[in-house]
Amino acid sequence: MTLLVAEARTRLPDAVSIVRDVCEHFLEHDARIVVEGDTHTVTFDFGVGTLQVQSDALTLRAQARDINELYFLRMVLAGHVKEFAGEAEPEIVWSGAGSDLVTPPNFRLARVAAVRDVTAHMRRITFSGGDLARYAGNDNIHVGLVIPPEGHDPVWPTVGRDGLIQWHAGPGRPAMRRYTVRRYDAAAGTLDIDFVVHADAGPGSAFALRAQAGDIVGLLGPGGGGIPVEADWYLLAGDETALPAIARIVEALAPQARGIALIEVADAAEEQKIGAGGGIDIRWLHRNGAGAGTTTLLPDAVRAVVFPGEGASIFAWVACELDGFKAIRAHLRKERGLKKTEHFAVSYWRKGKTDDDTFDRDDG
């Protein structure tokens, strides 16, 4: 197989310590790293990157199987070097494969095909468009929804010379929010996204409230967030923002899968029918008037779960408000002793924030 290769060289004071910090971060996210002299080779599932330190300079090299993987790998390398370099603000310019990219290769336009309310606070929007089959997989269930600004023609994202996505700075700048692909319908060529709608709406909820058939949006992705491993028993836990993902995961599990799904919602009227096999015990938790993110309902329910006995393989998937996420993650690690490979945890939102794009991930 012929690999696509890109390279960039930049001046970078204190390059040694910056590369060390970058690689430590990569290790925390399951990358494999080999150090030979001044060169760090980082292997991801989507390609191989090298970071070579030369005095006060740094050379980056990216190798991947196709342009989508190369695009993502260049972003990962350049983005993290810039993040950890901070005020040094290194100028990174890629040469080689992908240098002619203008539009992100994982970006497509889609059209609103239908809008309907699943419950009083959950609205389902069906999208149609080209190349939606890439969202069919159950291991990559998230999508970046690029929302045009109300009252202005959108200026869609481009790719900068550093390989990072570039957003327009003027009134035509769209908003980008991450959502779960609730369902992909291969026969119809459509996908569904479920939106939690509420009065203090951020860009995503506001779009869902005004969306009409024919509206155009952008889609970036797909991105991860599904169940990455097979297990004998599963724990799924989340609030209404995680309900679409939990439902998608439950419906994709094998018929013999066993486990518990804990789903926190406002009240009984917000419960939904989920096409689960009999092996997943779905338990609804009702706040009954309490505000979202103001109770310990979900962490308390997780603590009360009886886990299977010794010898059973376990996987826990959790997504909710930031405080609940922290409490549940600590419980799974410290009290349940789950290893890095046995759980995925993410914060989908944070109390007091109107923007619905917190999405702080920690899967280990």
CATH architecture of 233-362: 3-Layer(aba) Sandwich (3.40)
How confident is the model over 217-259, as pLDDT tens digits? 999 999 888 877 899 999 999 999 999 999 999 999 988 999 9
278 pLDDT tier (thresholds 50, 70, 90)? confident
φ/ψ of 285, rounded to 5, equals -115, 120
CA distances to 57, 100, 144, 352 from 25, rounded to whole Å, are: 20, 29, 23, 29
Among candidates 284, 221, 289, 230, which has minimal Cα distance to 258?
Answer: 230
8-state DSSP, 123 = E
Q: Is domain 107-223 annotated with CATH 2.40.30.10?
A: yes
Tokens of 116: 């309907």
How confident is the model over 299-322, as pLDDT tens digits? 999 999 999 988 899 999 999 999
- State percent of the chain over pLDDT 90: 82
Q: Which residues of the chain does CATH 3.40.50.80 include?
A: 233-362
Q: Which residues of the chain does CATH 2.40.30.10 include?
A: 107-223
How confident is the model over 173-182, as pLDDT tens digits? 999 999 999 9
Output the CATH code of domain 4-96. 3.30.310.50
Write down the pTM of the prediction: 0.89
Tokens of 38: 């001044």
- Give the list of residues 6+ apart from residue 39 with CB closer than 8 angstroms, or none: 50, 51, 52, 53
